[in-house]
Amino acid sequence: MSVESVPTDMMPAAFLGHGNPMNALESNRYTAAWAAFGRAVPRPRAILVVSAHWYTNATAVTSMTRPRTIHDFYGFPQDLFDVEYPAPGDPEIADLVVDVVKPTWVGHDVDSWGIDHGTWSVLVHAFPDASIPVLQLSLNAFKEPEKHLDLGRKLAELRKHGVLIISSGNVVHNLRAVDMSKPDTGFDWARRFDDSARELLIDDPSRILTLDGHGDYTKAVPTPDHYLPLLYLAGLADTTPLDVLVEGYAAGSLSMTCYSLGLDPAKVAEVAAAGSVGNAGGTGDAAAELPSSFPALDSNI
């Protein structure tokens, strides 16, 4: 497919702080925000997700027609392993992804990956009928942050072709510091870093690379996998200010803050107020709790 095909209206984009995968089964103010976002955006031609959970040694896009649902965790209830998100893929959109980022190389993945929980745990709320084609773009572990930001800028062309781009991770994500006694609060260092990120992103997202000089960066971002997806939305936005979709904390050391681009916050609020959203009706304040058997040091959530 050529990038010269007739474009649609510019599609919004978002960064969703997905937290722990139990949110897929819960109804809280975060899942409600994801659902409101999904109902507020124009129906996408396809959804491209940059998930923290496809952190690998190359840049690739899923190109299969029927991506499998991946349960890439352990120590969680069987109900979570039973979740399936049977969205189709779209090889033509995968070709378009490859075209728009040239000369950056992106490979076609036809059989190794699928839809991981960084993707389906939010999409079951945002697009519960799983009828829209879903593709994932991997995070190349060998690329510097500057390269991820630049790739986000190149992906912006897809928004003109009806592709909804969602990056899924967490601004603050430190599993070693998880504190089960703090279900909906953040440590001081987590709040400081999240606040600084917010101030920057709602002013000038193009400056996001300066956050690595923040005094709490090493605690907030001990590994890059959950932070890098944020660079993709910053790249898409460039100097356009982002809007906060929802904000908060889980287990002391996880930020649940989410951002949107190109979508009127008032429209999201209107959709949310129009009725119950999400997989279940009510909306609690706290994100889903981690199970007591959760192996914090060995799981990539």
**How is the chain split into domains, by residue range?**
13-273
pLDDT the model gives residue 4: 43
Classify residue 86 by burial, with Cβ atoms within 10 Å: 0-12, 13-18, 19+: middle
Q: With the C-alpha atoms ordered 73, 76, 81, 87, is the resulting torsion angle positive or negative?
A: negative
pLDDT the model gives residue 75: 85
**Residue 150 in 3-state DSSP?**
helix
pLDDT the model gives residue 188: 98
pLDDT the model gives residue 269: 87
Tell me the two tokens of residue 150: 């630049």
- The alpha carbons of the chain give a radius of gyration, in whole angstroms, of 18
pLDDT the model gives residue 73: 86
Right CATH number for 13-273 from 3.40.50.970, 3.40.50.1970, 3.40.830.10, 1.50.10.20? 3.40.830.10
Work out the angle at residue 53's Cα, subtended by the Cα atoms of residues 87 and 35, and round it to the nearest 5 degrees: 50
Work out the angle at residue 14's Cα, subtended by the Cα atoms of residues 186 and 163, and round it to the nearest 5 degrees: 160
How many angstroms separate the CA atoms of 194 and 73, rounded?
26
Q: What region, left, alpha or beta, does residue 262 occupy, with left being phi > 0 and alpha being psi -120 to 50 degrees? A: left
**Residue 186 in 3-state DSSP?**
strand
Calculated CA dihedral for residues 186, 22, 247, 285, nearest 10 degrees: -80
Nearest to 135 by CA among 12, 41, 24, 51: 51
pLDDT the model gives residue 2: 43
Cα 80 off chain centre by:
19
Quick check: pTM over 0.75? yes
How many angstroms separate the CA atoms of 206 and 158, rounded?
19
pLDDT the model gives residue 273: 86
How many angstroms separate the CA atoms of 168 and 160, rounded?
21
Work out the angle at residue 137's Cα, subtended by the Cα atoms of residues 7 and 288, and round it to the nearest 5 degrees: 110
Q: What is the DSSP letter of 105?
A: -
Question: Tens place of pLDDT for every residue, the chain, 301 residues?
Answer: 444 443 447 999 999 999 999 999 999 999 999 999 999 999 999 999 999 999 999 999 999 999 999 999 888 999 999 999 999 999 999 999 999 999 999 999 999 999 999 999 999 999 999 999 999 999 999 999 999 999 999 999 999 999 999 999 999 999 999 998 998 999 999 999 999 999 999 999 999 999 999 999 999 999 999 999 999 999 999 999 999 999 999 999 999 999 999 998 888 888 988 865 444 444 577 666 666 655 554 455 6
How many angstroms separate the CA atoms of 217 and 214, rounded?
5
pLDDT the model gives residue 164: 98
Cβ–Cβ under 8 Å, residues 90 and 163: no
How many angstroms separate the CA atoms of 154 and 135, rounded?
17
How many angstroms separate the CA atoms of 271 and 201, rounded?
24
Distances (CA, A) of 251 to 115, 259, 262, 297: 26, 20, 31, 14
28 phi/psi in degrees, rounded to 5:
-145, -175
Q: How many residues does the chain have?
A: 301
pLDDT the model gives residue 119: 98
Tell me the two tokens of residue 158: 């897809």
pLDDT the model gives residue 279: 45
